[in-house]
Structure 1
Amino acid sequence: MTDKEECKIASNLDTNFLKLVAIFAMTCDHVGKFLLPDVLFLQIIGRIAFPIFAYCIAVGSVYTHDIKKYFLRLTVFAFISQPFSVLAAHSNWNDFVQNLLILNIFFTLMIGLAAIYAMKEHKWWLFILLIFAANFINIDYGIGGILLIIVFYLFRNERKISIAFSAVMLAAPFFNQGELFLLGRSFDIQGFAVLALPLIYIKTNFNLKINKYLFYAFYPMHLLAIFLIKVALRIG
């Protein structure tokens, strides 16, 4: 396989546009979850955020100049974001301490990238260790989130296979009971994550130029804003 073939990805490479969509959806999700929990539509919009972030990690792992520096950036912002992530959900001090080890999305993305690195370098002991660890630490989206990142990477050149696997993984929660009551039964709204797939697989070319650190910094900053709003409104 040539370098050119290795870098080919048969889906949308307009990642700056995708990330903007993802942070908009994520903000809707967090506003709905932490400030307006009765407005379920906001959390439904938010379901598309993680699949897009997961896909962008897979793309980034292929095109980054230095995957180790990429991993380091994710790690740094994972730890920076952790207290803000917990504060947004639990503004009460006792709840904050009890939930401090519920890890934010950066940790999920970080482990997913590390798993891709392990596959690239044929370090299967590391890959197995990461998958094993993902089952036991409390990360956003759990082991399923890690596997989705791996699927996007493994089938980056196989569009139809990638769509099939990711669609099944993302739509599966619709078969579980959950928050949304429709057509005589309840549904887990997490299944709406499948709506991210058209954005991922239909190619766009907005050619937006955005500093990559904006995306990193937005996460803790918007969580801090939500926490401050909760304090001001005496919510939670």
Structure 2
Amino acid sequence: MSTFSLKIVALIFMVIDHIGQFIPDTPIWFRYIGRLSAPLFMFTMVFGFSYTRNRKIYIIRMYLFSVGMAIMDYILNCFNNVGDEVTNNIFATLFSIVVIIRLIEFKRENNRKWKFYLSCFCIWQMISLIICYNIGVHFDNLGLVFVAFMGNVFYDEGGFIFVVLGILLYYVKDNKKNTATFYSLFCLIYAFIINTNLVPRIMTRLDYYGYDLLYNIFNFVFSILGFDVLGFRQNTFQWMMIGALPFMLLYNGNKGKSMKYFFYIFYPLHIFILFILSNMVL
């Protein structure tokens, strides 16, 4: 399968997933199928970024679409009287991934400024984390815009754990055996954390015995990683992203047809349409 073919497959899975998200009384298996989408988009992106001629333009484009999507989410939520808050913004996650990949490339290229760039990135992430947290506490919905604007890796869709997944796919992309091994291992660890309910159990014990500091540390760490510590039981199907592996292994290294901006435009467009439909149905 070419890059284009994988993107089409990921797009189909994404639409099915979001139908399940926005349209009430949709079978739960719509969300199961949707778990395959994000890993496939990450997989195709790491190849696309590696082969692009102008990495700076690629990063800027991803950032602008991330901010634009956050603004659209904010506007939709202003008119959202039913359903959950709209927080869909895969562009923000992909932006964080390509920025970190670029830092890795600077290191591999022995760029003399790579340590400076890395230091600036880490400092900015800490500063923006504090700012985004306080804005989210006081302004709620508006926090989505600030998160995208500041490019904080801990508030991306899927959480920091999905940024880690993107970096992992970058490291193993040229070796199918490594892709199969490490992607499976990632999914296994993710499934173990979620389905064993281990973190809530530990936190319950800490709360019971009055270890407030450790309780808050667990809550903070797993929250910024992207785990909903209060809703573990409701998110036990994320491990089904393992189903994306066969499609990754079918990748033949070819680009295929070029419809670059189609995918950038389709994402916000289909979210907008499904949002309107969901508000019409309810």
Q: Distance in 1 between matches of 2:88 and 2:154?
A: 8
Q: Give the CA deviation at 1:157.
A: 2.8
The equivalent residue for 2:119 is 125
Q: Does 1:162 align with 2:156?
A: no
Pairing 1:10-159 to 2, within 5 Å after superposition: 14-85=2-73, 91-92=79-80, 102=87, 104-122=89-107, 123=114, 124-126=118-120, 128=122, 137-159=154-176
Classify 1:85/1:210 alpha carbon distance in 2 versus 1 (closer, same or farther; 3 Å): farther
The residue aligned with 1:214 is 262
How many Å separate the matches in 2 of 1:119 and 1:163? 22
Cα 1:210/1:90, change in 2 over 3 Å: farther
Answer with 23-32 or 153-162: which moved more.
Answer: 153-162
Q: Match for 1:125: what amino acid?
A: S
For 1:207 and 1:136, how far apart are their aligned partners in 2?
28
Partners of 1:127 and 1:198 in 2: CA distance: 34
SS state of the match for residue 140, structure 1? coil
Question: What's the offset of the Cα at 1:137?
Answer: 3.7
Match of 1:172 in 2: 189
- 2:249 corresponds in structure 1 to 201
Consecutive unaligned residues in structure 2, runs of 5 or more: 108-113, 130-150, 197-232
Alpha-carbon shift at residue 27 of structure 1 (Å): 0.7
TM-score (norm 2): 0.65
Tell me, yes or no, if the aligned pair for 1:177 and 1:188 is still in contact at 8 Å.
yes
Normalising by structure 1, what TM-score?
0.77
Count of residue pairs the alignment pairs up: 213
Of 29-38 and 215-224, more deviation after overlay is shown by 29-38
What's the counterpart of residue 239 of structure 2?
191
Between the aligned partners of 1:90 and 1:70, the Cα distance in structure 2 is 31
Per-residue CA distance 1:106-147 (angstroms, 9 max, x = gap): 000000000000110122325645776688742111111111
Larger Rg: 2
The aligned amino acid for 1:69 is I
Judge conservation of contact 1:75–1:107 (CA < 8 Å) in 2: yes
Mapped to 1, the partners of 2:40 and 2:59 lie a distance apart of 18
The 1:205/1:136 distance shift into structure 2, 3 A limit, reads closer
Kindly indicate whether the alpha-carbon contact (under 8 Å) linking 2:66 and 2:89 is maintained by their aligned counterparts in 1.
Answer: yes
State how far apart, in whole Å, the 1-side matches of 2:41 and 2:50 are. 15
Of residues 26-35 and 82-91 in structure 1, the stretch that sits farther from structure 2 once superposed is 82-91
**Aligned partners of 1:171 and 1:192 also within 8 Å:** no
* Identity %, equivalent residues: 25
AA of the residue aligned to 1:54: M
Query: What's the secondary structure of 1:121's corresponding residue?
Result: helix
Amino acid of the residue matched to residue 240 of structure 2?
Answer: F
3-state SS of paired residue (1:157):
coil
Question: What CA distance in whole angstroms lies between the structure 2 residues aligned with 1:62 and 1:205?
Answer: 12
CA distance in 2, matches of 1:229, 1:187: 25
- Please report the RMSD computed on the Cα atoms of aligned residues, expressed in angstroms: 3.2
